[in-house]
Chains A and B, each alone.
Chain A
């Protein structure tokens, strides 16, 4: 019991720190973001290596599903990245609307884009697991449907950004889209859940062998750090592009 509280508590704290630190990137100097990204990238690489070895070779074969279950070492952690990415995009969008600082827009687009990447990973690995286990690649279960709608919503957000040239207009319009899209996620979940349901109940650690739990926890942490690495790099890219755009605007103004 105490062990579980420690594990969940620390997971909660780590996730909170990741989200807050990411939002604060908006005001951090570039060098700091770069350094942070590199450090977490290296740690993520090590954790993923250990987690994969443990998960693929050390963890025992599952009695009912056989080796197919091992895809969960990629599948579950993907949702960590998805949730963190969209949550960061949502918070950064609210911060943008309140403060109108372009930095928050860079964080928001980084969160959304990396979130979509992990979201699609989760959907694909889920479908690959569903075929041998459920007999179908896809069902209209609430979690599957909600995550698919999430992917479409935030992919729409990214498409929208490509159509707006004015940096401030783009940041304003897309942050509103992110806010409405994020608020909509739980509504989609519950409406589809009342409509129909099938998904396997989440396994709790009591029902899973310890030799499976620890690799999974390592992978989750590894994916979270991998997410943070990708997010900081994407953020820096957005910032470079944004500053270039602003320079172009200044040149035009000066040219007149």
Chain B
């Protein structure tokens, strides 16, 4: 129980600093809006539908992929900041001296990142659906499951790599360079599952893909949890 309490204390501290400064959230909000606009400019908002998607615009057809690109590119802003406060104020030492299992630190940081990413997604998904004119209301529960699982995998490895690169000079460069190759399986599975949710699932494949994401999450979470104590050593 002690470790759970320690993790919770860390979550509260991170969310409190975020609520007061809103540094990560503001950056993410504007960046996400810009990413959505850039997709429109690059792919043409009214381009006629592709042959595969009857009567859809290109943006509607590509939405599952675009959504995940937006989530990943926007989320990296929050992940990159997740150890910044400690790093700048010398709090890393305090974190290392934190009693108990180091896994509690990982759990706390991961939970805080998940909440911040979820806040971003709660805005990003409806806004993109409105901008690109996509009907999501009926599909919301399934979409929620896919997004939750995909975000879990992203945040699990993202938190780990954020800790690894926290005291690097070039951490803003290195975090995406290291993180995105590891995220390939999550992207593949999450985009596939989102496509099935949005475009219908005649073969009943959605459940399989959800389990694939869950399995990937499990493996990545295990590796990161077991090695996290070495990641924040000094």
- A-B contacts counted at CB < 8 A amount to 74
List the B side residues contacting A173 at CB < 8 Å.
164-165, 168, 231
Q: In the complex the two chains form, what is the Cα distance from A183 to B212 in whole Å?
A: 16
Interface residues of B in 152-186 (CB under 8 A from A): 157, 160, 164-165, 167-170, 174, 177-178, 181-182, 184-185
Is the Cβ of B184 less than 8 Å from the Cβ of A191?
yes
The size class of the interface chain A forms with chain B is 20 to 34
Interface contact A163-B182, CB-CB below 8 Å: no
Contact A184 B164 (CB under 8 A): no
Q: A97-B230, A176-B164, A191-B216 are in contact. Are A184 and B182 (CB under 8 A)?
A: yes
Interface residues, chain B, with chain A CB atoms under 8 Å away? 157, 160, 164-165, 167-170, 174, 177-178, 181-182, 184-185, 188-189, 192, 212, 216, 219-220, 223-224, 227, 230-231, 233-234
Report B-chain residues with C-beta under 8 Å of the C-beta of A160: 165, 168, 174, 177-178
Q: Provide a sorted-by-A list of 11 A–B residue pairs whose CB atoms are within 8 angstroms.
A: A145-B184, A176-B227, A180-B224, A183-B219, A184-B181, A184-B220, A191-B216, A192-B184, A192-B185, A192-B188, A194-B212
> Could you tell me which A residues sit within 8 Å of B by CB distance?
97, 145, 149, 152-153, 156, 159-160, 163-164, 169, 172-173, 176-177, 179-181, 183-184, 187-188, 190-192, 194-195
Are A187 and B219 neighbours in the complex by a CB distance under 8 Å?
yes
Please state if B181 and A153 are interface contacts (CB–CB under 8 Å): yes
The contact of B185 among A164, A179, A187, by CB within 8 Å, is A187
Given A97-B230, A176-B164, A176-B231, the answer on whether A163 and B184 have CB atoms closer than 8 Å is no
A156 pairs with B188, CB closer than 8 A = no
Chain B residue numbers with a CB within 8 Å of A149 are 181, 184
Main secondary structure of the interface of A (DSSP, over half): helix
